[in-house]
């Protein structure tokens, strides 16, 4: 019989035994979702909390549904999310080449009265206003709605790309007047802090979706960026909130983290999203929840008002420090400048994240294929040693770029 060392949390066998199938699914391991239940979570713990989305004045649930999954064939999940108070639905043209938007549209066609209950957000990569107009019209058609509540330009790495030409501000104003969008913003996975700090100097950004998790939230620059946006009234929506991939059953460090949080009554993934919502400046967490089990676990975590302790945060910070070399923190400007702009390192890293951490292999290859052909062709021919030396996370960039060139084609 295995003994449990309280200084190290649960053993591997005790961990698996304690959490069971449903718990394993909620932290991301592969199980048969058909064998899992979908009882309403958190009975007796009150409704899902809501927060104001910056200066928009709109109250949104602290948990929003990320649509990067097969929404067309998961209509029951959409209904369940609405029933549990998750009425903020996010999507993008990129997700399934529009099929994610089509899935939401199918739901609205079958449930027309649901539109007034929903806060719907979508995103486009197009940078020219003319392309935005055409893309938005196509998105509205797929969504089967006349308007979206939040429209964002997707994957901004430098705010000047949309801020320098006044035409973007004019486009947003025109789209609002036409009744096609209510609010305008952008999403950012790379150089998030710089983009946010620059946005906070303007008056026309309503909301920002940005990478934010237990690995990023404690850096001084991120703290400054969050406060600057909050003071400006910009609504903040956290994405990429798990700070890495799934729990690995062969990783003692990760099982130790999971085991310690299980002793407190929740999984490590639930602890990570609870940690984010301890920050009152964050309006909502956008989470990809492709199964009712994961949806249930996240709703339960955020309905539960039990706060994390100081030791909980210290544990997450310590784990972040011990595993920093396995996570790209999105500071893409550093590696980009280190290689003289010869390779889109941060964009390739995002593709690897989709492929390895999210299991979204088709999406990873689709995004990778969208990178310039010449950049992909020379990806393995570049000396990345300056970038590896400059990388705060000490990532093995050369090895990762070689891996990307092999698995993403």
Collapsing DSSP states into helix, strand and coil, what is residue 285? Answer: strand
**Listed residue (215, 217, 256) closest to 357, CA to CA:** 215
Calpha distance 283→138 (Å, rounded) = 28
Stronger pLDDT, 164 or 18, i.e. the higher one = 164
Question: Is the pLDDT at 35 greater than 90, yes or no?
Answer: no
pLDDT tens-digit profile of 250-297? Answer: 556 667 777 778 888 888 889 999 999 999 999 999 999 999 999 999
Calpha distance 280→307 (Å, rounded) = 13
**Listed residue (95, 49, 90) closest to 70, CA to CA:** 95
Dihedral sign from CA coordinates of 39, 42, 45, 46: negative
Calpha distance 130→126 (Å, rounded) = 9
Percent of the chain with pLDDT over 70: 86
Calpha distance 400→62 (Å, rounded) = 34
Element (H, E) at 122: strand 119-124
DSSP track, 377-389:
HTTTSS--HHHHH
Question: Is the pLDDT at 179 greater than 90, yes or no?
Answer: yes
Element (H, E) at 188: strand 181-188
* Residue 315: per-residue pLDDT: 86
Element (H, E) at 177: helix 167-177
* Residue 279: per-residue pLDDT: 96
Average pLDDT over the chain, rounded to an integer = 85
- Please give the average per-residue pLDDT across 26-33, as a whole number: 36
- Name the DSSP letter for residue 100: H
pLDDT tens-digit profile of 197-220? Answer: 999 999 999 999 999 999 999 999
**Listed residue (226, 240, 234, 242) closest to 193, CA to CA:** 226
Percent of the chain with pLDDT over 90: 58
Calpha distance 12→251 (Å, rounded) = 9
Q: What angle do CA 259, 261, 265 make, to 5 degrees?
A: 110
* Residue 251: per-residue pLDDT: 57
pLDDT tens-digit profile of 43-98? Answer: 446 789 999 999 999 999 999 999 999 999 999 999 999 999 999 999 999 898 89
Secondary structure, 3-state, 210-265: EECCCCCCCCHHHHHHHHHHHHHCCEEEEECCCCCCCCCCCCHHHHHHHHHHHCCC
Q: Which domains does the chain have, with CATH numbers?
A: 47-309 (3.20.20.100), 328-407 (no CATH)
Collapsing DSSP states into helix, strand and coil, what is residue 279? Answer: coil
Spacing of C-alpha 239 from chain mean position:
3
pLDDT tens-digit profile of 311-368? Answer: 888 888 888 888 877 788 888 888 888 999 898 898 898 888 888 877 788 888 988 9
Q: Which residues of 28-41 are buried (b: 16+ CB within 10 A; e: fewer)?
A: beebeeeebeeeeb
- Name the DSSP letter for residue 367: H
């Amino acid at each position: 019989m295995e003994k449990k060392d309280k200084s190290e949390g649960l053993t591997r066998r005790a961990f698996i035994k304690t959490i069971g199938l449903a718990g394993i699914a909620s932290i991301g391991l592969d199980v048969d979702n058909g064998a899992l239940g979908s009882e309403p979570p958190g009975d007796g713990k009150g409704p899902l909390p809501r927060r104001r989305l910056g200066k928009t004045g709109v109250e949104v649930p602290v948990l929003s549904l990320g649509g990067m999954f097969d929404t067309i064939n998961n209509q029951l999940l959409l209904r369940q999310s609405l029933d549990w108070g998750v009425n903020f639905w996010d999507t993008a043209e990129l997700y399934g080449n529009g099929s994610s938007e089509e899935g939401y549209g199918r739901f609205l066609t079958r449930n027309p009265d649901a539109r007034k209950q929903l806060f719907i957000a979508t995103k486009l990569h197009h940078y020219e206003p003319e392309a935005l107009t055409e893309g938005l019209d196509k998105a509205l058609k797929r969504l089967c709605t006349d308007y979206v509540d939040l429209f964002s330009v997707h994957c901004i790495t430098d705010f000047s790309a949309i801020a320098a030409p006044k035409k973007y501000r004019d486009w947003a104003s025109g789209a609002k007047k036409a009744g096609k969008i209510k609010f305008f913003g952008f999403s950012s996975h790379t150089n998030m802090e710089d983009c946010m700090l620059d946005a906070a100097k303007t008056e026309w950004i309503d909301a920002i979706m940005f990478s934010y998790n237990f690995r990023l939230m404690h850096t001084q620059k991120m703290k400054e960026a969050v406060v600057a946006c909050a003071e400006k009234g910009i609504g903040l929506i956290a994405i990429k909130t798990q700070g890495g991939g799934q729990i690995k059953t062969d990783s003692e460090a990760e099982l130790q983290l999971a085991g310690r949080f299980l002793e407190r009554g929740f999984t490590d993934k639930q602890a990570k999203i609870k940690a984010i919502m301890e920050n009152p400046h964050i309006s909502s967490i956008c989470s990809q929840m492709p199964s009712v089990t994961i949806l249930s676990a996240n709703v339960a975590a955020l309905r539960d008002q039990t706060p994390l302790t100081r030791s909980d945060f210290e544990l997450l910070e310590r784990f972040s420090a011990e595993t920093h070399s396995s996570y790209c923190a999105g500071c893409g400007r550093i590696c980009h400048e280190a290689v003289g702009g010869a390779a889109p390192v941060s964009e390739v890293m995002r593709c690897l994240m989709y492929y390895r951490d999210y299991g979204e292999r088709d999406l990873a290859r689709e995004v990778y294929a969208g990178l310039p052909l010449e950049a992909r062709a020379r990806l393995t021919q570049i000396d990345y040693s300056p970038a590896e030396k400059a990388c705060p996370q000490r990532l093995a960039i050369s090895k990762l770029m070689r891996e990307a060139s092999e698995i993403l084609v």
